[in-house]
Amino acid sequence: MDACVFCGLISADSARWIAKESVVVAFLPLPGQEIAPGHTLVVPRRHTAAGVLDVQAADLAQVMDLAQRIAQKMVQRLGATGVCLLNASGPGSGRSVDHLHFHVVPRYPGDDDDSLPWPTGRSVHHLTGDVQQLLST
């Protein structure tokens, strides 16, 4: 997995670490790449090429647990009033790194909606069939 930037950071122990646990790690983005002060990436140590589509359930649970703890600290220690938890998974998602990762982005008083890291466009794709029926388990 040498081509994976996150696997490389973990292997070289060269990130700006927030947390290093046995299954999952958290680190700050490169300087200048932050969406907001405190923006943190939460990543499983085990490589997952398709993100949430191929991660082991136990690893995902650990990722979500750490993301929640970091989000709580953002509110308690950084003065954030909320957080955005962002992920893109799969080749057609617009992801930038082929390894499961969640961005935990703190939101602060005065942040405008235009700074909200959320897709603003709408898909033009049309499905045949009932979406509720197709997705129901």
CATH number for the domain that contains residue 30:
3.30.428.10
The pLDDT tens digits for 33-67 are 888 999 999 999 999 989 999 999 999 999 999 99
* Residue ranges making up the domain that contains 103: 5-135
Write out the two tokens for 11.
């292997």
**Which residues lie across from 105 on neighbouring strands?**
84
Strands 40-44 and 24-28: antiparallel
| Total number of domains constituting the chain | 1
The pLDDT tens digits for 8-20 are 999 999 999 999 9
